[in-house]
Amino acid sequence: MEMRFVWQHIYLVSVSCVFTTIFGLLLGIFAYISKPARSVILWLVDILQTIPVLALLGLIMIAFGATSTTVIIGIVLYSLLPIVRNTYIGLENIDPGIKEAAQGMGMTKLQRLFKVELPLSFPIVFTGIRIAIVTSIGTAVFGAVVGGGGLGSTINRAILIQDMPTLMQATLTLMAMAVFFDIVMGYIEKRLKTR
């Protein structure tokens, strides 16, 4: 197993997670603010999740070819759901008394969002990000099919030539990666929620 593929995998996951977080937050906030947009956004991220990963990557490949861009876009779309949902739910479920106080104190909509509502919903948003990252480690494996590289390539090749030790190694590495991220982020999450 070449280390190159491990780094490539991590690269795919981290780049796409930066983008999912950004888009997910924006969409979640938008769904919270705008009632008409809400149903559309929540419906859309739900639908995205129901498309099989391979089919989704195939569709994107038509536009972007067999590159890592295709894989990153695929992962981003596929892991939007937990972040959008958690952002929306987190914002929606803030104690109405706190929201009313913020409004009554004379905060503008944006001040309310950034000084009160987002900080308060952040632990829940963070849980969404954690789920997104951990699942995208798995999703990225499919990236090999559309030429994105990563550990998916290693596994593919190992299966083709029946190289069991490499297959084992790659799989264990993936698992270790997922567990590592999950534990670290779980720890941060716990710290966030105790306040």
Give me the residues that bind another protein (CB under 8 A), please. Answer: 95-98, 100-108, 111, 115-116, 119-120, 195
Cβ proximity to another protein, 35 vs 195, nearer residue: 195
Residue 147 C-beta: closest distance to another protein, Å: 45
Residue 75 C-beta: closest distance to another protein, Å: 31
Residue 67 C-beta: closest distance to another protein, Å: 42
Concatenated DSSP letters of the chain: --HHHHHHHHHHHHHHHHHHHHHHHHHHHHHHH-HHHHHHHHHHHHHHHHS-HHHHHHHHHHHH-SSHHHHHHHHHHHTHHHHHHHHHHHHHTS-HHHHHHHHHTT--HHHIIIIIIHHHHHHHHHHHHHHHHHHHHHHGGGGGGGT--SHHHHHHHHHHTT-HHHHHHHHHHHHHHHHHHHHHHHHHHHHHHH-
Cβ proximity to another protein, 115 vs 157, nearer residue: 115
Residue 37 C-beta: closest distance to another protein, Å: 23
Cβ proximity to another protein, 66 vs 105, nearer residue: 105
